[in-house]
Chains A and B, each alone.
Chain A
Amino acid sequence: MQNVIESSGISKNFGTTKALNDISFSVNESEIFGFIGPDGAGKTTLFRIITTLMLPDEGEIKVLGMNCTTDYKELRKNIGYMPGRFSLYQDLTVEENLNFYATVFGTTVEENYELISDIYSHIEPFKKRAAGKLSGGMKQKLALSCALIHKPKLLVLDEPTTGVDAVSRSEFWDMLGKLRQHNITIIVSTPYMDEAMRCDKVALIQDGKILAIDAPQKIRDGFSRKLFTVKSVEKYKLINTLRKYPMTLTAYPFGDSVHVTFINDMVDNSLFGYLIKEGISDVVVQAAEAGIEDRFLELMNKTE
């Protein structure tokens, strides 16, 4: 089976800034492939290269077996792209936008309705409403419908869930899961680590470099230390105090607790003694399983 995307040594510079540095990866058919990384990591630049909107300075990239530089015309018929910024016509209605993109791709809404019915049915009651007047979650569903209307083989979603509420985010990922039945390969970028677990494969990207590529579970398993969660009412003070503790390796905030690793990979009574001396007496310490974020931070520290 051929890989949907085959990238080797892609680089892109903007002036002296290295936006992408030697990026190599491959995406299999019907896979949901996630690019996880903070803002400015280079995710959008990479996606613009994949969607033929930009040419790489170095390296080679093949998408759907075609060369991004020379076969862009054929390629564009087979890619559905949802840019990070809402890029549909805000002054056209939901229905007009969908019809417009269908026509532009030389198809009709009816022809591929089955593919989008799951998603579009949520917004169909508002089809006469201007796209700009939809809520964030509905805009995202419309954008996805428009990106899918020509039945693309590859769907490229640039931060589709940014600025969308937690419930809609979860719904959105359910929809992506269903699309797999239609043999659509999906690459998606997100700054949310919790969404990584819903991908088949994940690439951690930072400063234009890929830190790791693997199944999300394997990335978590790669965490090399024993992780503990420490909880206290005064979280901020707790982090600062823990960071001063000589046996602490790392201490990062994580939700309402702190994720901590120690040099000797264990918790002993001297920690509690130290914390009480510093005025924190209500601590609860538990062993924890590392998440993607913990592994990401560990990899980031290593490269630094």
Chain B
Amino acid sequence: MRTILYLIRKEFIQIFRNKFISKAIFAVPIVQMLILVPAITFEIKNVKLGIIDRDMTSESRGLISKLEGSTFFKVSFSTFSESEANSLLHRNKCSVILQIPSGFGRDIGNANPAKLLATIDAINASTAPLSWAYLNGIIRDYNMDLITENISTNPLVPLPQIQITNRYWYNEMLNYKYYMLPGILVILVTAIGFLLAGLNMVREKEIGTIEQINVTPVRKYHFIIAKMVPFLLIGLIDLALGLVIGKLAFNIPFEGSILLMFFCASLFLIAVLGLALFISTFSGTQQQYMFIAFFCMIIFILMSGIFTPYESMPVWAQDFNLINPVAYLMRINRMVMLKGSTIHDISRELYSLAVIAICFSALAVRRYRKTA
């Protein structure tokens, strides 16, 4: 026990004597939270819209002003030439072209089906259908306006209607920051766990100090624990710092138990640190380590469900996520922070994290060789 404590003390002395790392540990969460939380959003705003109005009637102008009035679209140009519009779409000057053929206003007056043509840049497969949905919504609205006008002039025609009232739970204002912030906290903790401990271990190899340690009677698991504990604590401190910033800068709600969240984060950090130290046992240089660790980190984060819903991934990807600690913490964090989930609600995730933590740490201890 005395040995472990002394080994841990040594790690802390080294971390805080390193001027760069000791500052970065506190600067990284602040910068990351302040930049990423407001920047990463799926809200669609100011989609650039090109208009080809061949009709030039009050009806067509009414539709255009309705589009202009929404926050989703910004009319970036208006033209009569289809080829000009297409070339502007090609040059990214607009993302959606709406063509209003001549006769649009006349058809509405005649109660004939009026036609419109929308062309949408679908390079981004997730924003394209959303642009279409918004556009569709505005046109439907416009359509309803016309019908209401008709009803007032011709009240004998009854209009069948279903009215739906909805309410968004857990995030009533659909504030994207509330959704992203817990996820960004996870990324923060992941980066701390993956990079610092592993690099620290490989550095001992590179400068040869591990050689001297290996001839001592230090037990393998002592050494691994001593490498884990300091970075576990740093990860938790950074998580706390991130939460404070979330509260102060973005007024993020915190419905659940903070203690529960830190408990989950500790399990998660043990898992990630175990994996990081496992990777470090077969990396000879910091460069090799960085390459592998970065690769794992990217896969874990992108598959964790931070941007894309976990449930819509292919089955094999969901299976992979059974061993992805980031995916578990991602769900736990959002559930605990936004829904106020209790330990019972997240018990499955918690057990899984515990199993992963034990497995990865055991691997690290097993693979760490004191003899070549």
Contact status A106-B3, CB under 8 Å: yes
Contact status A53-B215, CB under 8 Å: yes
- Within the complex, the shortest CB–CB distance from A57 to chain B, in Å, comes to 12
Chain B residues positioned under 8 Å from A53 (CB to CB) = 211, 214-215, 370-372
Given A76-B215, A79-B215, A85-B208: A103 and B371 within 8 A (CB)? no
In the bound assembly, the distance between CA atoms of A85 and B370 in angstroms comes to: 18
Name which residue of chain B comes closest to A72, CB basis.
B371
The residues in A between 85 and 100 inclusive whose CB is less than 8 angstroms from any CB of B are: 85-92, 96, 99-100
Chain A residues positioned under 8 Å from B14 (CB to CB) = 89, 91-92
Contact status B7-A104, CB under 8 Å: yes
Contact of A87 among B2, B13, B208 (CB under 8 A): B208
Chain B residues positioned under 8 Å from A87 (CB to CB) = 207-209, 211-212
Chain A residues positioned under 8 Å from B307 (CB to CB) = none
- Mark B186-215 against chain A: 1 for CB-CB distance below 8 A, else 0: 000000000000000000000111011111
Given A85-B208, A91-B18: A104 and B371 within 8 A (CB)? no
Chain B residues positioned under 8 Å from A103 (CB to CB) = 2-3, 6
The residues in B between 16 and 54 inclusive whose CB is less than 8 angstroms from any CB of A are: 17-18
User: B115 within 8 Å of A by Cβ?
Assistant: no
Name which residue of chain B comes closest to A80, CB basis.
B215
User: A51 within 8 Å of B by Cβ?
Assistant: yes
Chain A residues positioned under 8 Å from B208 (CB to CB) = 83, 85-87
Given A81-B212, A106-B3: A76 and B217 within 8 A (CB)? yes
Given A54-B372, A87-B208: A77 and B217 within 8 A (CB)? yes
User: A73 within 8 Å of B by Cβ?
Assistant: yes
In the bound assembly, the distance between CA atoms of A77 and B217 in angstroms comes to: 6
Given A91-B18, A92-B10: A104 and B372 within 8 A (CB)? no
- Within the complex, the shortest CB–CB distance from B200 to chain A, in Å, comes to 12
Name which residue of chain A comes closest to B210, CB basis.
A87
Chain B at the A interface: SS class: helix
Name which residue of chain A comes closest to B10, CB basis.
A100
- Cβ contacts A to B, 12 pairs, < 8 Å: A52-B370, A53-B214, A55-B371, A83-B208, A87-B212, A89-B209, A91-B14, A92-B14, A103-B3, A104-B213, A104-B217, A106-B3
Name which residue of chain B comes closest to A78, CB basis.
B217
User: A228 within 8 Å of B by Cβ?
Assistant: no
Contact status A52-B216, CB under 8 Å: no
User: B218 within 8 Å of A by Cβ?
Assistant: yes
In the bound assembly, the distance between CA atoms of A52 and B372 in angstroms comes to: 9
Contact of A96 among B2, B13, B213, B215 (CB under 8 A): B13
Given contact pairs A53-B372, A146-B212, a sample of 17 additional A-B residue pairs in the complex whose CB atoms are under 8 Å apart: A52-B371, A53-B370, A72-B371, A76-B215, A76-B217, A83-B212, A85-B211, A87-B212, A91-B18, A99-B6, A100-B10, A101-B212, A103-B3, A104-B3, A104-B216, A105-B216, A105-B217
- Within the complex, the shortest CB–CB distance from A74 to chain B, in Å, comes to 9
In the bound assembly, the distance between CA atoms of A86 and B13 in angstroms comes to: 20
User: A48 within 8 Å of B by Cβ?
Assistant: yes
Contact status B3-A88, CB under 8 Å: no
Chain A residues positioned under 8 Å from B216 (CB to CB) = 76, 101, 104-105
Chain A residues positioned under 8 Å from B10 (CB to CB) = 89, 92, 96, 100
Name which residue of chain B comes closest to A69, CB basis.
B371
In the bound assembly, the distance between CA atoms of A93 and B7 in angstroms comes to: 15
In the bound assembly, the distance between CA atoms of A79 and B212 in angstroms comes to: 11
In the bound assembly, the distance between CA atoms of A103 and B13 in angstroms comes to: 15
Contact of A100 among B6, B211, B370 (CB under 8 A): B6
In the bound assembly, the distance between CA atoms of A90 and B211 in angstroms comes to: 14
Chain A residues positioned under 8 Å from B6 (CB to CB) = 99-100, 103-104
Given A96-B10, A96-B13, A103-B6: A73 and B217 within 8 A (CB)? yes
The residues in A between 219 and 270 inclusive whose CB is less than 8 angstroms from any CB of B are: none
- Mark A99-119 against chain B: 1 for CB-CB distance below 8 A, else 0: 111011110000000000000
In the bound assembly, the distance between CA atoms of A105 and B216 in angstroms comes to: 6
Contact status A91-B218, CB under 8 Å: no
- Within the complex, the shortest CB–CB distance from A10 to chain B, in Å, comes to 15
Name which residue of chain B comes closest to A156, CB basis.
B215
Chain B residues positioned under 8 Å from A85 (CB to CB) = 208, 211
| Max chain A C-beta neighbours (<10 A), residue from B6, B213, B216 | B216
Chain B residues positioned under 8 Å from A88 (CB to CB) = 209, 212
Chain B residues positioned under 8 Å from A146 (CB to CB) = 212
- Mark A125-162 against chain B: 1 for CB-CB distance below 8 A, else 0: 00000000000000000000010000000000000000
In the bound assembly, the distance between CA atoms of A101 and B214 in angstroms comes to: 12
In the bound assembly, the distance between CA atoms of A92 and B217 in angstroms comes to: 21
Chain A residues positioned under 8 Å from B217 (CB to CB) = 73, 76-77, 104-106
In the bound assembly, the distance between CA atoms of A72 and B369 in angstroms comes to: 13
Chain B residues positioned under 8 Å from A89 (CB to CB) = 10, 14, 209
Contact status A54-B371, CB under 8 Å: yes
| Max chain B C-beta neighbours (<10 A), residue from A81, A89, A90 | A89
